[in-house]
Chains A and B, each alone.
Chain A
Amino acid sequence: DTGVSQDPRHKITKRGQNVTFRCDPISEHNRLYWYRQTLGQGPEFLTYFQNEAQLEKSRLLSDRFSAERPKGSFSTLEIQRTEQGDSAMYLCASSPRPETQYFGPGTRLLVL
Protein backbone atom coordinates (compact mmCIF):
# COMPACT_ATOMS: atom_id res chain seq x y z
CA ASP A 1 0.00 0.00 0.00
CA THR A 2 1.56 3.28 -1.06
CA GLY A 3 -0.90 5.60 0.65
CA VAL A 4 -0.30 7.86 3.62
CA SER A 5 0.22 5.87 6.81
CA GLN A 6 -0.09 7.01 10.40
CA ASP A 7 1.02 5.38 13.60
CA PRO A 8 -0.42 4.64 16.06
CA ARG A 9 -4.04 4.42 14.94
CA HIS A 10 -5.30 4.82 18.49
CA LYS A 11 -3.72 6.29 21.59
CA ILE A 12 -5.12 6.52 25.10
CA THR A 13 -3.12 8.58 27.54
CA LYS A 14 -3.51 10.25 30.90
CA ARG A 15 -3.68 13.98 31.25
CA GLY A 16 -0.24 15.48 31.57
CA GLN A 17 1.56 12.81 29.57
CA ASN A 18 3.40 13.46 26.32
CA VAL A 19 2.40 11.71 23.12
CA THR A 20 4.03 11.48 19.70
CA PHE A 21 2.40 10.56 16.42
CA ARG A 22 4.10 9.59 13.19
CA CYS A 23 3.04 10.18 9.60
CA ASP A 24 4.61 8.59 6.54
CA PRO A 25 3.49 10.44 3.42
CA ILE A 26 3.25 9.11 -0.09
CA SER A 27 6.81 8.91 -1.31
CA GLU A 28 7.97 11.89 -3.34
CA HIS A 29 5.17 14.09 -2.01
CA ASN A 30 7.04 17.15 -0.83
CA ARG A 31 4.08 18.72 0.96
CA LEU A 32 2.82 17.37 4.28
CA TYR A 33 -0.04 18.65 6.41
CA TRP A 34 -1.38 17.97 9.89
CA TYR A 35 -5.02 18.53 10.76
CA ARG A 36 -7.08 17.96 13.88
CA GLN A 37 -10.68 16.82 13.79
CA THR A 38 -13.05 16.77 16.74
CA LEU A 39 -16.36 14.93 16.81
CA GLY A 40 -18.94 16.35 14.47
CA GLN A 41 -16.56 18.88 12.95
CA GLY A 42 -14.49 19.11 9.82
CA PRO A 43 -10.70 18.87 9.96
CA GLU A 44 -8.88 21.99 11.13
CA PHE A 45 -5.45 22.84 9.85
CA LEU A 46 -2.54 22.63 12.28
CA THR A 47 0.69 22.90 10.31
CA TYR A 48 2.27 22.45 6.88
CA PHE A 49 5.70 21.35 5.66
CA GLN A 50 7.28 21.69 2.28
CA ASN A 51 10.14 19.22 2.31
CA GLU A 52 11.74 19.66 5.74
CA ALA A 53 10.71 23.29 6.18
CA GLN A 54 7.71 24.08 8.38
CA LEU A 55 6.13 26.88 6.39
CA GLU A 56 2.90 27.53 8.20
CA LYS A 57 1.44 26.99 11.66
CA SER A 58 -2.13 27.52 12.79
CA ARG A 59 -3.01 29.44 15.91
CA LEU A 60 -4.44 26.10 17.08
CA LEU A 61 -0.88 24.86 17.41
CA SER A 62 -0.15 25.97 20.96
CA ASP A 63 3.33 25.85 22.45
CA ARG A 64 2.56 22.34 23.75
CA PHE A 65 2.48 21.11 20.15
CA SER A 66 5.54 20.60 18.02
CA ALA A 67 5.93 19.05 14.61
CA GLU A 68 9.01 18.01 12.71
CA ARG A 69 9.90 16.59 9.35
CA PRO A 70 13.64 16.11 9.74
CA LYS A 71 14.59 14.68 6.37
CA GLY A 72 11.65 15.80 4.33
CA SER A 73 10.09 12.37 4.47
CA PHE A 74 8.14 11.21 7.55
CA SER A 75 6.82 13.68 10.11
CA THR A 76 6.13 13.56 13.83
CA LEU A 77 3.63 15.53 15.85
CA GLU A 78 4.27 15.73 19.58
CA ILE A 79 1.85 16.98 22.20
CA GLN A 80 3.36 17.75 25.57
CA ARG A 81 1.43 17.82 28.85
CA THR A 82 -1.74 16.58 27.19
CA GLU A 83 -5.10 18.00 28.21
CA GLN A 84 -8.55 16.51 27.84
CA GLY A 85 -9.28 19.09 25.16
CA ASP A 86 -6.57 17.52 23.02
CA SER A 87 -8.77 14.45 22.50
CA ALA A 88 -9.40 14.34 18.77
CA MET A 89 -8.51 12.60 15.54
CA TYR A 90 -5.16 13.80 14.19
CA LEU A 91 -4.98 13.54 10.43
CA CYS A 92 -1.96 13.73 8.21
CA ALA A 93 -2.10 14.46 4.49
CA SER A 94 0.45 14.77 1.73
CA SER A 95 0.44 16.18 -1.78
CA PRO A 96 2.87 16.70 -4.64
CA ARG A 97 1.48 20.16 -5.36
CA PRO A 98 -1.17 22.50 -3.97
CA GLU A 99 -4.82 21.46 -4.24
CA THR A 100 -5.67 17.78 -3.84
CA GLN A 101 -4.42 16.28 -0.60
CA TYR A 102 -4.19 12.58 0.22
CA PHE A 103 -5.13 11.75 3.77
CA GLY A 104 -3.97 9.00 6.07
CA PRO A 105 -6.34 7.02 8.30
CA GLY A 106 -5.69 9.26 11.28
CA THR A 107 -4.61 8.77 14.88
CA ARG A 108 -7.41 8.89 17.39
CA LEU A 109 -6.25 10.35 20.70
CA LEU A 110 -8.16 10.02 23.95
CA VAL A 111 -6.87 11.92 26.96
CA LEU A 112 -8.29 10.68 30.25
Chain B
Amino acid sequence: SQQGEEDPQALSIQEGENATMNCSYKTSINNLQWYRQNSGRGLVHLILIRSNEREKHSGRLRVTLDTSKKSSSLLITASRAADTASYFCATGPNYGGSQGNLIFGKGTKLSVKP
Protein backbone atom coordinates (compact mmCIF):
# COMPACT_ATOMS: atom_id res chain seq x y z
CA SER B 1 0.00 0.00 0.00
CA GLN B 2 1.11 3.57 -0.58
CA GLN B 3 2.68 5.27 2.42
CA GLY B 4 1.72 8.79 1.56
CA GLU B 5 0.65 11.32 -0.94
CA GLU B 6 2.51 13.82 -3.03
CA ASP B 7 0.94 17.16 -3.71
CA PRO B 8 0.24 18.43 -6.29
CA GLN B 9 -0.35 15.46 -8.56
CA ALA B 10 0.78 17.54 -11.52
CA LEU B 11 2.70 20.80 -11.82
CA SER B 12 3.45 22.84 -14.92
CA ILE B 13 5.92 25.73 -14.80
CA GLN B 14 8.16 27.77 -17.06
CA GLU B 15 11.90 27.24 -17.28
CA GLY B 16 13.69 29.28 -14.64
CA GLU B 17 10.85 29.13 -12.12
CA ASN B 18 11.03 27.20 -8.89
CA ALA B 19 9.03 24.01 -8.38
CA THR B 20 7.81 22.86 -4.97
CA MET B 21 6.40 19.43 -4.33
CA ASN B 22 5.04 18.17 -1.03
CA CYS B 23 4.83 14.73 0.47
CA SER B 24 2.86 13.51 3.44
CA TYR B 25 3.33 10.15 5.09
CA LYS B 26 1.54 8.14 7.73
CA THR B 27 3.91 6.27 10.02
CA SER B 28 7.09 7.14 11.89
CA ILE B 29 10.19 7.02 9.72
CA ASN B 30 13.95 6.68 9.91
CA ASN B 31 14.48 8.65 6.73
CA LEU B 32 12.69 9.98 3.69
CA GLN B 33 14.02 9.93 0.16
CA TRP B 34 13.10 11.61 -3.10
CA TYR B 35 13.42 9.89 -6.46
CA ARG B 36 12.97 11.12 -10.02
CA GLN B 37 11.53 9.06 -12.86
CA ASN B 38 11.73 10.14 -16.45
CA SER B 39 8.88 8.90 -18.61
CA GLY B 40 8.91 5.12 -18.89
CA ARG B 41 12.26 4.75 -17.17
CA GLY B 42 13.64 3.55 -13.86
CA LEU B 43 13.95 5.73 -10.78
CA VAL B 44 16.96 7.83 -9.91
CA HIS B 45 17.77 8.65 -6.30
CA LEU B 46 17.95 12.39 -5.66
CA ILE B 47 18.36 12.98 -1.95
CA LEU B 48 17.86 11.36 1.45
CA ILE B 49 16.97 13.21 4.63
CA ARG B 50 17.12 11.53 8.01
CA SER B 51 14.46 11.87 10.67
CA ASN B 52 16.74 14.01 12.84
CA GLU B 53 17.41 16.48 10.00
CA ARG B 54 15.15 19.37 9.10
CA GLU B 55 16.66 20.57 5.84
CA LYS B 56 19.12 19.31 3.26
CA HIS B 57 20.54 20.73 0.05
CA SER B 58 21.99 19.12 -3.04
CA GLY B 59 22.76 21.39 -5.97
CA ARG B 60 19.46 22.96 -7.05
CA LEU B 61 17.48 20.70 -4.72
CA ARG B 62 16.32 21.60 -1.25
CA VAL B 63 14.43 19.15 0.91
CA THR B 64 12.73 19.86 4.20
CA LEU B 65 11.30 17.41 6.69
CA ASP B 66 8.77 18.09 9.42
CA THR B 67 8.32 14.91 11.43
CA SER B 68 5.69 16.51 13.68
CA LYS B 69 3.48 17.06 10.63
CA LYS B 70 4.71 13.91 8.86
CA SER B 71 5.49 15.92 5.77
CA SER B 72 8.37 16.77 3.47
CA SER B 73 8.88 19.17 0.61
CA LEU B 74 11.17 19.14 -2.40
CA LEU B 75 12.14 22.45 -3.95
CA ILE B 76 13.83 22.57 -7.34
CA THR B 77 15.24 26.02 -8.00
CA ALA B 78 15.81 27.58 -11.43
CA SER B 79 14.08 24.68 -13.16
CA ARG B 80 15.16 23.43 -16.58
CA ALA B 81 13.30 21.55 -19.28
CA ALA B 82 15.41 18.51 -18.36
CA ASP B 83 13.77 18.51 -14.90
CA THR B 84 10.54 17.34 -16.55
CA ALA B 85 9.80 14.04 -14.83
CA SER B 86 7.75 12.44 -12.09
CA TYR B 87 9.01 12.91 -8.56
CA PHE B 88 8.34 10.42 -5.79
CA CYS B 89 8.92 10.51 -2.08
CA ALA B 90 9.72 7.23 -0.41
CA THR B 91 10.00 6.20 3.20
CA GLY B 92 11.90 3.33 4.71
CA PRO B 93 13.36 1.12 5.64
CA ASN B 94 11.59 0.58 8.91
CA TYR B 95 14.21 -1.26 10.88
CA GLY B 96 11.67 -2.44 13.37
CA GLY B 97 9.72 -4.28 10.75
CA SER B 98 10.48 -4.33 7.07
CA GLN B 99 13.89 -5.45 5.93
CA GLY B 100 14.38 -2.52 3.73
CA ASN B 101 11.76 -2.03 1.06
CA LEU B 102 10.81 1.51 0.23
CA ILE B 103 7.24 2.69 0.36
CA PHE B 104 6.48 5.21 -2.37
CA GLY B 105 3.83 7.87 -2.80
CA LYS B 106 1.93 8.34 -6.04
CA GLY B 107 4.25 11.02 -7.33
CA THR B 108 4.10 14.54 -8.70
CA LYS B 109 4.35 14.91 -12.46
CA LEU B 110 6.42 18.01 -13.19
CA SER B 111 6.43 19.64 -16.60
CA VAL B 112 8.93 22.42 -17.26
CA LYS B 113 8.22 24.37 -20.40
CA PRO B 114 11.11 26.03 -22.26
Contact = CB atoms under 8 A, between A and B. Distances in A.
B25 interface: no
Contact of B100 (A98, A103, A105): A98
Contacts of B88: 42-43
A56 B99 contact: yes
A2 interface: no
Interface in B88-102: 88, 90, 93, 95, 98-102
Interface of A: 4, 31, 33, 35, 40-45, 48, 50, 55-56, 58, 89, 91, 93, 95, 98-106, 108
Interface in B45-88: 45, 48, 88
A40 B106 contact: yes
Contacts of B13: none
A48 B101 contact: yes
A82 to B, nearest CB: 20
A105 B48 contact: no
A88 B33 CA distance: 23
B105 A42 contact: yes
